[in-house]
């Protein structure tokens, strides 16, 4: 295909533009531009009337966006050119002064940080709500006991609350990481120019303060090219989604007919198009599936970054779509998970029925430890007790005191007290354990954290 000399292939025009997706940053772009106009006034580039006209004109553009009345033009390559084009239509030639000393390179880097800072704050709020939901259920359902699993094999009895808090603690760590990440990227790149800096004595520290940043990016080359904060957010989102995926898998398993520990509310499950008896955990399956999508966004952007030479290159336009997609999807996943947790029904009877006395094998070993027998020895003795019961095709609780004494003379009449699941749970009373007071302490710690963020 040939084109007139100097003409741009229409396909290239579409290939190059980012307005269809970066228009969502309109507020960040206007906010940053208003501060830059004030900065130009402070440096003497604009007089007071020009600054006031630009700030007011940008406010008028923002009002159109808020009202859904902004009309794009064919020339709008990105959100930056769109807003400046509309500004010129409103205030006239003075709009041409706004870009003095500024490049789209430092402009977009600023917009991205402003936009992500707001989104990260909103997402942290959603994570706090999800944690609070889990903590609320843990407190309300403290007496529900269930099998704890390793390798998907029944291992030891635990509290349902302990299970919920295990996931809540991972989400708390995720929220902490997000807060730390947000602080790390809360630095202003505006004033870096295209790459070499701003020649008009712009007060970057003042602009940083005006926009709520903690300081400036101290190197202009780094300022226009740094997208590590996006890569870090995408990787943060990947890890957070792994945690959401893991509890999704747990609850999917627990909601099966074979387990029937929990039942999802109708609001978060669907029926089969063919089999009317089925209730599918689609909400949890979608969360589990989206974890792969979000990890793909992170790994894809990392591959984009790895070969880019110094300063700004057009490859960096590929930062927006994975970031926007990740923000949208993790936002939905957090809200859906909170909805699932707040509405699911716990079948405490089925959980209790799933407990079996062989899960108390470790308690047999610990019983002997309290009789001063070394643990390595008691572990083998407990195994022999289980084997004796299996050979008889009977539960280990059916063994008599005399049977136990054939295994070791330290067994006494009180061995029969072992076959109590609540008792077993209450022995795990060290900090972080599944005993009632230990779980209550976890709830207290978690509530204190929720109150502090």
The answer to whether residues 120 and 263 belong to one domain is yes
pLDDT exceeds 60 at position 273: no
The answer to whether residues 86 and 119 belong to one domain is no
pLDDT exceeds 60 at position 221: yes
Output the pLDDT for position 79: 97
330: CATH = 1.20.200.10
The answer to whether residues 48 and 142 belong to one domain is no
SS3 category, 413 = helix
Q: Number of structural domains, the chain?
A: 3
Report the alpha-carbon distance of residue 151 to residue 122 in Å, rounded: 36
pLDDT exceeds 90 at position 1: no
363: CATH = 1.10.40.30
Output the pLDDT for position 13: 77
The answer to whether residues 221 and 281 belong to one domain is yes
The answer to whether residues 192 and 232 belong to one domain is yes
161 catalytic, yes or no?
no
Output the pLDDT for position 9: 75
**DSSP notation for 107-161:** HHHHHHHHHHHHHHHHHHHHHHHHHHHHHHHHHHTTT-EEEEEETTEEEEEEEHH
SS3 category, 346 = strand
Q: Give residue-wise pLDDT tens across range 341-372.
A: 999 999 999 999 999 999 999 999 999 999 99
**DSSP notation for 268-282:** G-EE-SS-TT-EE-H
Output the pLDDT for position 415: 96
Q: How confident is the model at residue 279 (pLDDT cuts 50, 70, 90)?
A: confident
Report the alpha-carbon distance of residue 333 to residue 389 in Å, rounded: 47
The answer to whether residues 116 and 243 belong to one domain is yes
The answer to whether residues 68 and 44 belong to one domain is yes
Average pLDDT, the chain: 95
Asked if residue 315 belongs to a domain, the reply is yes
Output the pLDDT for position 4: 65
Asked if residue 432 belongs to a domain, the reply is no
Tally of CA atoms within 13 A in the half-sphere of 279 that contains its CB = 15
Q: Give residue-wise pLDDT tens across range 115-158.
A: 999 999 999 999 999 999 999 999 999 999 999 999 999 999 99
Residue keyed to tokens 């790994």: 299
Residue keyed to tokens 């701003």: 198
Residues 6+ apart with CB under 8 A from 210: 35, 38, 39
Q: Give residue-wise pLDDT tens across range 68-125.
A: 999 999 999 999 999 999 999 999 999 999 999 999 999 999 999 999 999 999 999 9
Asked if residue 429 belongs to a domain, the reply is no
Q: How confident is the model at residue 5 (pLDDT cuts 50, 70, 90)?
A: low
Q: Give residue-wise pLDDT tens across range 416-440.
A: 999 999 999 999 999 999 999 999 9
246: which 2 tokens? 């893991």
The answer to whether residues 45 and 174 belong to one domain is no
Residue 345 DSSP symbol: E
Among 75, 121, 272, 310, the active-site one is: 272
33: CATH = 1.10.275.10
Domain of 274, in residue numbers: 105-353
Q: How confident is the model at residue 2 (pLDDT cuts 50, 70, 90)?
A: low
Residues 6+ apart with CB under 8 A from 302: 231
pLDDT exceeds 60 at position 274: no
pLDDT exceeds 70 at position 302: yes
The answer to whether residues 23 and 50 belong to one domain is yes
As a whole-number percent, the residues of the chain with pLDDT over 70 amount to 97
Asked if residue 452 belongs to a domain, the reply is no
Q: How confident is the model at residue 8 (pLDDT cuts 50, 70, 90)?
A: confident
Output the pLDDT for position 3: 61
**DSSP notation for 196-264:** T--SS---HHHHHHHTT-SSB-S-HHHHHH--HHHHHHHHHHHHHHHHHHHHHHHHHHHTSTTT-SEE-
The answer to whether residues 156 and 220 belong to one domain is yes
Among 151, 257, 273, 452, the active-site one is: 151
Q: Give residue-wise pLDDT tens across range 289-299.
A: 999 999 999 99
Angle between helices 228-254 and 160-185 (to 10 degrees): 170
Q: How confident is the model at residue 277 (pLDDT cuts 50, 70, 90)?
A: low
33 catalytic, yes or no?
no
Report the alpha-carbon distance of residue 261 to residue 348 in Å, rounded: 7
Distances (CA, A) of 44 to 53, 118, 186, 208, 368: 15, 31, 27, 18, 84
The answer to whether residues 281 and 204 belong to one domain is yes
Once rounded to an integer, what is the mean pLDDT over residues 46-51?
98
What is the greatest pairwise CA distance in the chain?
A: 101
User: 311 burial class (0-12, 13-18, 19+ CB within 10 angstroms)?
Assistant: middle
Once rounded to an integer, what is the mean pLDDT over residues 173-188?
97
Asked if residue 263 belongs to a domain, the reply is yes
């Amino acid at each position: 295909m040939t084109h007139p000399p100097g003409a741009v292939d229409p396909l290239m025009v579409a290939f190059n533009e980012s307005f269809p997706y970066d228009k969502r940053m309109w507020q960040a772009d206007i906010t940053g531009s208003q501060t830059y106009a004030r900065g130009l006034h402070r440096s003497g580039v604009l007089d007071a009337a020009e600054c006031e006209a630009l700030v007011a004109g940008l406010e008028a553009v923002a009002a159109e966006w808020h009202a859904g009345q902004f009309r794009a033009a064919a020339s709008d390559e990105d959100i930056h050119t769109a807003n400046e084009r509309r500004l010129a239509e409103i205030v006239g030639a003075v709009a041409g002064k706004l870009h003095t000393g500024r490049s789209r390179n430092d402009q977009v880097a600023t917009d991205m940080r402003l936009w992500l800072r707001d989104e990260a704050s909103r997402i942290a709020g959603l994570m706090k709500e999800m944690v609070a939901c889990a903590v609320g259920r843990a407190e309300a359902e403290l007496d529900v006991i269930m099998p704890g699993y390793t390798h998907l094999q029944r291992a030891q009895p635990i509290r349902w609350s302990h299970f919920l808090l295990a996931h809540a603690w991972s989400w708390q760590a995720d929220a902490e990481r997000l807060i730390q990440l947000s602080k790390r990227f809360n630095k202003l790149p505006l004033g870096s120019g295209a790459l070499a800096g701003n020649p008009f004595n712009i007060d970057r520290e003042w602009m940083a303060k005006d926009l709520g940043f903690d300081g400036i990016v101290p190197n202009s080359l780094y300022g226009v090219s740094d997208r590590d904060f996006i890569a870090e957010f995408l990787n943060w989102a990947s890890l957070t989604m792994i945690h959401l995926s893991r509890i999704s898998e747990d609850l999917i398993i627990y909601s099966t007919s074979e387990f029937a520990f929990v039942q999802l509310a109708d609001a978060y499950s669907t029926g089969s198009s063919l089999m009317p008896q089925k209730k599918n955990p689609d909400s949890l399956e979608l969360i589990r599936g989206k974890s792969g999508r979000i990890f793909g966004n992170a790994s894809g952007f990392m591959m984009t970054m790895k070969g880019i030479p110094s300063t700004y290159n057009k490859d960096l336009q590929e930062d927006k779509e994975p970031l926007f997609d990740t923000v949208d999807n993790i936002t939905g996943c957090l809200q859906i998970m909170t909805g699932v947790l707040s509405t699911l029904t716990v079948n405490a009877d089925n959980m209790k029925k799933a407990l079996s006395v062989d899960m108390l094998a470790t308690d047999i070993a610990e019983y002997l430890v309290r009789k001063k027998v070394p643990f390595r020895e008691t572990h083998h003795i407990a195994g022999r007790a289980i084997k004796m019961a299996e050979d008889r095709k009977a539960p280990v609780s059916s063994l008599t005191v005399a049977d136990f004494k054939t295994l070791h003379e330290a067994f006494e009449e009180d061995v029969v007290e072992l076959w109590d699941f609540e008792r077993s749970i209450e022995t795990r009373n060290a900090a972080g354990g599944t005993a009632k007071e230990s779980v209550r302490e976890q709830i207290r710690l978690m509530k204190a954290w929720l109150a502090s963020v």
